[in-house]
Chain A
Amino acid sequence: MKKKVLTVDDSRTIRNMLLVTLNNAGFDTVQAEDGVEGLEVLEESNPDVIVTDINMPRLDGFGFIEGVRQNDRFRAIPILVLTTESDAEKKNRAREAGATGWIVKPFDPSKLIAAIERVTA
């Protein structure tokens, strides 16, 4: 069965890239534009893994991760954070919030797939 990935990112560019990359790699992909929508989509899509951005309007990545980790049904889902190399501080905060791992931007399809495979069975 195809694995399902939920991506949460406010950038249309990155969303499209994630979609193309993940679909090409044989994943099912569901997408949300910010943390609030991410939590909604989570409920209805039941993904195997989540990839999220940090800087988003309404509810940022930290809040989103906390939201997932506080959700009894979904709190064990691996969550990968899209981050930039210079965002070490952010990475730490993401880990504190409960992120499983991270993908360092610039966006690289092979790195993304490798990271997803790394955290999923």
Chain B
Amino acid sequence: MDMNEIKEIFFQECEEQLAELESGLLRLNDGDTDPETVNAVFRAVHSIKGGAGAFGLDDLVSFAHVFETTLDCVRSNKLEASPDLLKVMLRSADVLADLTAASRDGGTVEASRTSGLVAELEAYAKGQPLPSASAPAAPAPKPAAPEAPVAEAPAATDDSGFQPVPFSFDAIDGDDELAIDGGASVFTVRFKPRSDLYAKGNEAVLILRELAKVGDLQVRCETDDLPSLDMLDPEGAYFSWLIRVETESDEEAIRQVFEFVEWDSTVEITAGADEEAFSAPDAAGEEQPMAAIPFDLSLLEDEPVVVAEAEAPVAAAAEQPAALAPANMPLAAKAIAAEAEKKETAVPAVPAAPQTIRVDLDRVDRLINLVGELVINQAMLAQSVVENESGGSSAVNLGLEELQQLTREIQDSVMAIRAQPVKPVFQRMGRIVREIADMTGKSVKLVTEGENTEVDKTVIDKIAEPLTHMIRNAVDHGLEGPDKRTELGKNPEGILKLSAKHRSGRIVIEIADDGAGINRERVKAKAIENGLITPESNLSDEDIDNLIFHPGFSTADKISDISGRGVGMDVVKRSIQALGGRISITSKPGKGSVFTMSLPLTLAVLDGMVVTVADQTLVVPLTAIVETLQPEKSDIHSFGPSQRLIAIRDTFCPLVDVGNILNFRADLANPVDGVALLVESEGGGQRALMVDAIQGQRQVVIKSLEANYTNVPGIAAATILGDGRVALILDVDAVVTASRGQPLSPDMMLAATG
């Protein structure tokens, strides 16, 4: 693994953390007061900052740092997570996402967005803005600040940890020349560890070893404090050291060595040699009067030794506390063990996350392709057994049946691997709503439901865009401004509800707003103006609502920056249809509109009805078919030069000759010889598709025509049937549209023969 791979992991992780961040903030926004939520939010930002720091992504680090500081105030209850603050934080989360994306893909984030939020966040962290004060009143942004994240840290937290040890500054004042001269200077260090030093895993000998890297040492170990053996606490600290350091570095370098232990020991550093101490060892311990020890001091009264020699006794002393025998303190140990047990039993209460592994998408795709081939192969095998009926023993048939079932199961399981919750897409919508709400000055609350509904990854990837557009549309055109809403007696905050659920093998996504609903008068007027309908047209409310899906239709009087962009609902509709989906709208004036789209759960397989049309085999997606029927002569009614209607119970339904539309044959087939498939087309209207015969119903593996050949109007894709032949999958909506008089393009003949 190299740095680039780790960086890739970092960006993946950022995405997860950003999602975590946003959902956490939204939970807080909904009144969640669980400290763990705040912690999780804090951790997300902290993690991003940590990784970004490692890769030198300074912009990201500095922004994350400011964000983190403010979050820390919330976490420590210094700052209340007010709705205003959360708004700022949600916008900060958006900027953080943008900065992350900019770091990954290149590009920059507008400095004004960053600096504005930095100022707001910092103002909150300093407790300056009153809950009601508007954020722009905060201090002006620091233009050049982001390069120095450390410097931006609030003073309150910064200095508490790095307090210099108080005694020493006076002492060195007069001796500065020593170091300035460039030659080696001499310092005397008194180092007296307390037992905590050892308890925290530090060792005096290692400190001395570190000190030896700074300069030449002369070390004296003071053992005066060592009590008699029966008084000796095995975990006590009795030794202290007097060290003469001859170094070219300054005092700071020496202090650095004691960085980890300054809390748990007394460290005195004085410039100049304490010659007296080294010549008269007894004076060394004068700071803390010590009891005389009944030891033979002569053993220790050697000449001062250099560190290499000193190590042995020092190590021995230092190891005392390190060699911790449980037997020494049975009571304490038991208490500790009990506590530790308590901890351990308390811990499993947190549900463990399900185990997951990360797999390259390519591998899953390859697996899916292979399973597709397997399904086809199994179908072909079954077919050839049927064809050689004579050779098919019951054992073969039984095995074949089992194989079929297994294949189906494998296929379902593989599809499940690709299935993912729609949550990430829904979360992205939260951001879109905020942005548009900001731009339009509307107040909007996004409510999501069923975000764990799973659907194939390819579908997820493709719904984001139409969904974004619909959300923009709903906020921009659907919801009224706060003033208008108040006037109407509605809550000034509009509600946008985004929900997902499974329904009969499809995923249904609804976008509901509680806005004004479709202004039918205006839609109708606009449609007449655009020549979509004639003023005399008698349209049902539903028909009028669905006019907004017509190409080039927009009711916005002026093209706004938000949902305008030259893209109308017709584009949304088309992209959803391209996914094998449907979209419709229901609307109540004054109450709001609901957009409903239904999509297949996967784009890899499809349940289809295999039919014959003019000697061609076609597959009609089962989801489109409402019912099949055998037309009677008396049900067929001619209408105009070439149109025919079929009477189904009480209603008439246009009859569509598929063979004719696809140019499989020039004349019209006799309906009585064929079968009619009643299909639901976009906009809710029904059509009866004429085909010659139904062969059966089966699951087929979708093979893209676009990828393997080219886009063919009227045909959605292709598949391979059990007999090894290629069959085309009918694009029902395109055929229905063509039956209204818009011919399919002429390259059809070519495709159909292929």
B199 at the binding interface (Cβ < 8 Å): yes
Which chain B residues border A36 with CB–CB below 8 Å?
347, 350
In the complex, residue of chain A having the shortest beta-carbon distance to the beta carbon of B205: A121
Q: Which of B327-376 contact A (CB under 8 A)?
A: 333, 336-337, 339-340, 343-344, 347, 350
Min CB distance B599 to A, Å, is: 32
A3 CB to closest chain B CB (Å) equals 14
Given contacts A11-B47, A55-B42, A92-B161, contact A121 B324 (CB under 8 A): no
Q: Is the beta-carbon distance between A121 and B54 smaller than 8 angstroms?
A: no
Interface residue count for A (Cβ, 8 Å)?
A: 51
Q: Which of A13, A53, A108, A120 contacts B9 (CB 8 A)?
A: A13
Closest Cβ of chain A to B79, distance in Å, is: 15
- What is the bound-complex CA distance between A2 and B254, given in angstroms? 30
What is the interface size of chain B, counting residues whose CB is below 8 A from a CB of the partner? 57
Asked if residues B200 and A100 are in contact (CB atoms below 8 Å), the reply is: yes
Interfacial chain A residues near B150, Cβ < 8 Å: 85-86
List residues of chain A with CB within 8 A of the CB of B177. Answer: none
Contact of A87 among B157, B159, B333 (CB under 8 A): B157
Q: How far, in angstroms, from A108 to B3 measured CA to CA in the complex? A: 13
Inter-chain contacts of A10 with B (CB < 8 A): 43, 47
Which of the listed residues A17, A59, A71 has the most CB atoms from chain B within 10 Å of its own CB? Answer: A17
Q: A12, A95, A119, A120: which contacts B13 (Cβ < 8 A)?
A: A12
Q: Bound state CA distance, A18 and B332, in angstroms?
A: 35
Q: How many A-B residue pairs have CB under 8 A?
A: 139
Contact A86 B200 (CB under 8 A): no
Q: Of residues A13, A19, A119, which shows the largest number of chain B Cβ atoms within 10 Å of its Cβ?
A: A13
B350/A58 in contact, CB under 8 A: yes
Contact indicator B201/A119 (Cβ below 8 Å):
yes
The answer to whether A72 touches B326 (Cβ under 8 A) is yes
Q: Which residue of B lies closest to A108 (CB)?
A: B54
Of B6, B326, B333, the most chain A CB neighbours within 10 A belong to B6
B51 at the interface (CB under 8 A from A): yes
For A79, list chain B residues within 8 Å (CB): 200-201
- B53 within 8 A of partner (CB): yes
Do A20 and B6 touch (CB < 8 A)? Answer: yes
Asked if A107 and B54 make an inter-chain contact with CB atoms under 8 angstroms apart, the answer reads yes
A41 in the interface, Cβ–Cβ < 8 Å?
Answer: no
Q: Does B554 contact A (CB under 8 A)?
A: no
Minimal Cβ-Cβ distance residue in B for A33: B353
Q: Which chain A positions have C-beta within 8 A of B205?
A: 121
Which B residues are in CB contact (< 8 Å) with A17? 6, 54
B169 touches A (CB below 8 Å) = no
Given contacts A13-B51, A86-B150, contact A106 B160 (CB under 8 A): no
Q: In the bound complex, do residue B9 and residue A100 qualify as a contact, i.e. CB atoms below 8 Å apart? A: no
Q: Are A20 and B347 in contact (CB under 8 A)?
A: no
Given contacts A55-B43, A58-B347, A106-B53, contact A98 B200 (CB under 8 A): yes
- Known A86-B150, A91-B161; judge A70-B339 contact (CB<8 A): yes
Would you call B709 an interface residue if the criterion is a C-beta within 8 Å of the partner chain's C-beta atoms?
Answer: no
Report the minimum CB–CB distance from A65 to chain B (whole Å).
Answer: 9
A18-77: which residues lie under 8 A (CB-CB) from chain B?
Answer: 19-20, 36, 39, 53, 55-59, 63, 67, 69-72, 75-77
User: Does B46 lie at the interface of the complex (its beta carbon under 8 Å from any beta carbon of A)?
Assistant: yes
Q: Are A56 and B347 in contact (CB under 8 A)?
A: no
Within the complex, the shortest CB–CB distance from A44 to chain B, in Å, comes to: 14
Interface pairs A-B: 4 shortest CB-CB: A88-B161, A106-B53, A101-B260, A86-B153
27 intermolecular pairs with C-beta atoms under 8 Å apart: A12-B12, A16-B9, A17-B6, A20-B2, A69-B199, A69-B200, A70-B339, A72-B337, A76-B201, A78-B201, A79-B201, A82-B50, A84-B49, A84-B50, A84-B53, A86-B150, A87-B157, A89-B157, A92-B160, A99-B200, A100-B202, A100-B260, A101-B259, A101-B260, A107-B50, A118-B210, A120-B206
Q: A13-B10, A121-B206 are in contact. List 9 more A-B contacts (CB 8 A).
A: A12-B9, A16-B5, A17-B54, A70-B336, A71-B336, A71-B340, A82-B50, A87-B157, A119-B203
